[in-house]
């Protein structure tokens, strides 16, 4: 046999055994080019295949191994051919469902044989089941139950877990040659880079916890690499000149006289921070954070008034048409009495209306223009754009932010978000943005009562609804999220709408979903806003920013399918007035262990930040790396909420490296960030 070809960290992945040209291409599409990149392709979670789960106590959504005797093999020839195999272990039984079964497998899977399976438990029509699990015959001498944890790698079509494990094992033989750029800056208490990588790839006995020093070492390096990348792209952008907008507050004072409430101290403080920025040549880049219902819109209005007072125009952008419409209505109602014209630009606007609006914007007859992405289009030209306000920033791509900024000379930028991010964290992720936080809700709000309820208790729910309606209140009814298909989501909403109409025939209701035209949506929303309809049945389009203070009850169907952050946002639509409000999270039984714990979090907490943290804990250590859910940068090891304590180390480390080791800066960015993000595009 030929001696294996030597390979190095910088060799192409094709140097690894088992990687041919087709696989090289697939790996490159995952941004894995060199052997070194395989080392940094970290497990997304771990599977524990060592312990057997007793079949009598299985729960849906559980993942694990079972061992039992085959008691029955049924071949079902329906619309779709399939096999249903029954396994029994004395404590209970489990079905295995297969959609194809090759001959060798058919020969082995016979009643009386013993079978080991690993997979996820699902609730099927005939009881609990596993679909195409991994398996071994357990009554053969070569059967070996796994003795350690099994890493599970993010993958792509055509690459199996077994392949990943083999490649990683080869790459790990070189791990000690990996340059450790931080060793000389970190104290002796920190473990080396190689140790961290070994822990994550080969963690034999226990799921590596994020508190483990080796893990922390990797997380620190990844955070630092991201921080360095952002810093590198910032250089020079500060020097550019923005319009100096030093208002004297005349418009704002006039506005306050007609406002039915007073700004809270938190709002006042943030408004002052913004006005201070607007008066500088250095362009404002500010992130305004405030939990749902904290009153961000008023702050946006204050900033807009400062700009308008000094004859500058303001562009206000929201992620959806409904939100843009809501914002524009609120701005129009608030500002029309002051003689300020508010324009509204979305994709569905008629040609003539659009032309007139654009003309007014070009000639500066319209001072404030609210819209969606439609604001980016080339023919939208401002006469004197001084301020751009973006609502719910995480929904917009970085690139879109930049496009809008190009519309003015160098306008000031205010980004508003309800996504809770701690201040230190925000400063690391958005090194370009200063952060303001509205940390108190307006007075007089009573907390939303949250109930978790099986959908079999609909009768009871209808009684509760009648009661609320009799008191003159309004209700949101949110329909299940069906990711795979908008049509299915719509059908579900239509069914719920029809059911509600049957149950409450005398109550006027509206139905809103993504497929309606802009004008229809606007009408449905307006009818609900004015109280003409009393119940609004909606797909999750109402998620962010809708403001109808008279709505005091929200029912969410299939809450178990939704993310915690989304549920929190939805719930924030009620409890905006003085009335005692409730949110009912309905689920379809049986409820899995995880789903139950998640809904419980919503019941117990009302603080967006706490909820985001709990969500993180529930994912469990090592089970879910990265920051996908928070809508922030996606990382491999670090999680910005969990590893917040590390953030304090970054600025000093970054300065040291920039001063003494510029090559290491490049190498670290390349190692961790690679081509994934083009930071130079950040607004």
Ligand X SMILES: Nc1ncnc2c1ncn2[C@@H]1O[C@H](COP(=O)(O)OP(=O)(O)OP(=O)(O)O)[C@@H](O)[C@H]1O
Is the Cβ of residue 151 or residue 545 nearer to ligand X in the bound state? 545
Query: What is d(CA 234, CA 504) in angstroms, rounded to the nearest whole number?
Result: 58
Q: Please, what is the minimum distance in Å from the beta carbon of residue 409 to ligand X?
A: 29
Pick the closer one to ligand X by CB: 264 or 474. 264
Pick 393 or 533: Cβ nearer ligand X? 393
Specify which residues 289 forms β-bridges with.
Answer: 417, 437
Q: Where does residue 172 rank: exposed (0-12), middle (13-18), buried (19+ CB within 10 A)?
A: middle
End-to-end CA distance of the chain: 57
Min CB(377)–ligand X separation in Å: 26
Using the minimum distance from each CB to ligand X, give the nearer residue, 215 or 255.
255
The dihedral formed by the CA atoms of 126, 131, 135 and 140, expressed in degrees to the nearest 10: 30
* 37 versus 392: smaller Cβ distance to ligand X: 392
The Cβ of residue 161 has, within 10 Å, a number of other Cβ atoms equal to: 15
Long-range contact pairs involving 500-507 (C-beta distance under 8 Å, separation at least 24):
500/535, 500/537, 503/462, 504/462, 504/465, 504/466, 504/469, 504/535, 507/469, 507/534, 507/535
Q: Taking the complex as a whole, how short is the minimal distance between the CB of residue 510 and ligand X, in angstroms?
A: 20
| Maximum Cα interatomic distance, the chain, rounded to a whole number of Å | 89
CB nearer to ligand X: pick between 407 and 423:
423
Cα separation, 408 vs 243, whole angstroms: 10
The alpha helices in 5-116, defined as continuous H runs, are 21-29, 35-39, 103-108
Instruction: Give the residue with the Cβ less far from ligand X, 418 or 657.
Output: 418
- Compare residues 350 and 444 and give the one whose CB is closer to ligand X: 444
In the complex, the smallest distance separating the C-beta of residue 557 from ligand X, rounded to whole angstroms, is 21
Q: How far is the CB of 556 from ligand X (least distance, A)?
A: 16
Residue 102's nearest CA partner among 61, 53, 57, 135 is 135
Query: Between the CA atoms of 620, 625, 626 and 629, what dihedral angle is there, to the nearest 10 degrees?
Result: -40
Q: Which is nearer to ligand X, 295 or 371 (CB)?
A: 295
What are the helix (H) ranges across 336-396?
Answer: 351-362
How far apart, in whole angstroms, are the C-alpha atoms of residue 228 and residue 662? 11
**How far is 248 from 461, CA to CA, in rounded Å?**
53
List Cβ neighbours of 38 (8 Å cut-off, separation of 6 or more).
Answer: 13, 16, 32, 167, 168, 170, 171
Name the region of 531 (left: φ>0; alpha: ψ -120 to 50; beta: rest).
Answer: left
**Owner of token pair 């208002």:** 247
Q: Which is nearer to ligand X, 293 or 420 (CB)?
A: 293
Question: Measured from the CB of residue 301, what is the shortest distance to ligand X in angstroms?
Answer: 9
Instruction: Give the nearest distance from C-beta 543 to ligand X in angstroms.
Output: 10
Q: How far is the CB of 113 from ligand X (least distance, A)?
A: 58
Sign of the CA dihedral with 600 first, then 449, 539, and 415 last: negative
Angle at 45 (CA atoms; ends 39, 51), nearest 5 degrees: 120
Q: What is the nearest approach in angstroms of ligand X to the Cβ of residue 231? A: 30
Judged by beta carbon, residue 392 or residue 643, the one nearer ligand X is 392
Could you tell me the two tokens for 254? 């006039």
Return the number of the residue (334 or 382) whose C-beta is nearest ligand X. 334
CB of 574 to ligand X, least distance (A): 11
Strands (E), 397-457: 412-417, 434-438, 449-454
Min separation Cβ 163 and ligand X, Å: 45
Between 136 and 267, whose beta carbon lies closer to ligand X? Answer: 267
Nearer to ligand X, 94 or 292 (CB): 292
Positions that interact with ligand X (CB under 6 A): 261, 263-264, 267, 290, 292-298, 418, 442, 545, 547, 549, 572, 576
Residues 650 and 673: their CA atoms lie apart, in Å, by: 16
| Shortest CB 490 distance to ligand X, Å | 25
Q: Can you read off the two tokens belonging to residue 349?
A: 């606007």
- CB of 264 vs ligand X, minimal distance in Å: 4
Residue 13 CA: distances (Å) to CA of 1, 28, 88, 150, 483: 22, 9, 44, 23, 35
Q: What's the min distance (Å) between Cβ of 260 and ligand X?
A: 8
119/137 Cα distance (integer angstroms): 15
């Amino acid at each position: 046999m030929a001696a294996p070809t030597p390979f190095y960290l910088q060799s192409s992945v094709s140097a690894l055994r088992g990687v041919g040209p087709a696989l090289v291409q697939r790996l490159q599409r995952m941004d894995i080019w060199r052997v070194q990149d395989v080392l940094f392709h970290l497990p997304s979670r771990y599977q524990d295949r060592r312990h057997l789960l007793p079949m009598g106590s299985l729960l849906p959504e559980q993942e694990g191994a079972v061992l039992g005797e085959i008691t029955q093999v049924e071949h079902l020839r329906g619309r779709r051919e399939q096999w249903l195999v029954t396994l029994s272990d004395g404590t209970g039984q489990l079905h295995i469902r297969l959609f194809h079964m090759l001959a060798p497998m058919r020969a082995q899977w016979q009643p009386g044989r013993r079978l080991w399976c690993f997979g996820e438990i699902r609730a099927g029509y005939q009881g609990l089941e596993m679909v195409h699990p991994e398996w071994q015959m357990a009554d053969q001498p070569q059967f070996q139950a796994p003795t350690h944890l099994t890493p599970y790698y993010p993958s792509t079509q055509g690459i199996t877990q077994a392949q990943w494990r083999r490649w990683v094992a080869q790459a790990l033989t070189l791990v000690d040659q990996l340059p450790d750029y931080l060793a000389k800056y970190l104290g002796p208490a920190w473990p080396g880079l190689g140790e961290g990588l070994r822990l994550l790839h080969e963690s034999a006995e226990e799921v590596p916890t994020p508190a483990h020093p080796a893990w922390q070492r990797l997380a620190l390096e990844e955070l630092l690499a991201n921080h360095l990348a952002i810093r590198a792209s910032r250089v020079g952008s500060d020097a550019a000149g923005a319009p100096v907008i030093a208002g004297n507050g005349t418009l704002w004072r006039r506005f306050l006289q007609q406002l039915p409430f007073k700004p809270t101290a938190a709002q006042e403080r943030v408004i002052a921070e913004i006005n201070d920025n607007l008066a500088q040549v250095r362009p404002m880049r500010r992130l305004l954070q405030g939990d749902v219902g904290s009153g961000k819109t008023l702050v946006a209005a204050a900033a807009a008034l400062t700009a308008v007072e000094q004859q500058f125009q303001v562009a206000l952008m929201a992620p959806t048409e409904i939100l843009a419409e809501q914002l524009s209505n609120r701005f129009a109602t608030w500002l029309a009495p002051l003689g300020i014209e508010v324009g509204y630009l979305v994709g569905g606007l008629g040609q003539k209306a659009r032309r007139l609006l654009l003309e007014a914007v070009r000639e500066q007859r319209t001072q404030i223009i609210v819209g969606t992405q439609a604001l980016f289009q080339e023919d939208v030209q401002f006469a004197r754009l001084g301020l751009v306000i973006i609502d719910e920033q995480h929904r917009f791509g970085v690139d879109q932010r930049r496009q809008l900024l190009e519309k003015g000379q160098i306008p000031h930028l205010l980004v508003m978000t309800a996504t809770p991010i701690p201040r230190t964290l925000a400063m690391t992720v958005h090194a370009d943005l200063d952060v303001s936080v509205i940390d108190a809700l307006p007075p007089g709000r009573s907390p939303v009562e949250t109930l978790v309820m099986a959908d079999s208790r609909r009768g009871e729910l209808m009684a509760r609804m009648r009661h609320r309606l009799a008191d003159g209140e309004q209700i949101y009814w949110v329909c299940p999220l069906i990711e795979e298909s908008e049509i299915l989501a719509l059908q579900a909403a239509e069914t719920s709408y029809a059911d509600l109409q049957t149950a409450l025939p005398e109550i006027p209701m509206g139905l809103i979903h993504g497929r309606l035209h802009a004008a229809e949506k606007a009408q449905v929303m307006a009818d609900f806003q004015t109280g003409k309809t009393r119940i609004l049945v909606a797909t999750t389009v109402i998620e962010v920013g809708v403001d109808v203070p008279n709505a005091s009850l929200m029912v969410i169907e299939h809450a178990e399918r939704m993310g915690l952050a989304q549920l929190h946002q939805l719930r924030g639509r009620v409890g905006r007035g003085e009335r005692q409000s409730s949110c009912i999270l309905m689920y379809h039984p049986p409820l899995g262990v995880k789903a139950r714990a998640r809904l419980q979090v919503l019941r117990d907490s009302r603080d967006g930040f706490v909820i985001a943290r709990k969500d993180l804990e529930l994912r469990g250590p090592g089970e879910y790396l990265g920051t996908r859910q928070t809508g922030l940068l996606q990382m491999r090891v670090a999680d910005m909420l969990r590893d917040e304590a590390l953030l304090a180390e970054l600025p000093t480390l970054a300065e040291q490296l920039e001063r003494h080791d510029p090559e290491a800066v490049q190498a670290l960015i390349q190692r961790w960030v690679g081509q994934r993000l083009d930071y130079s595009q950040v607004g």
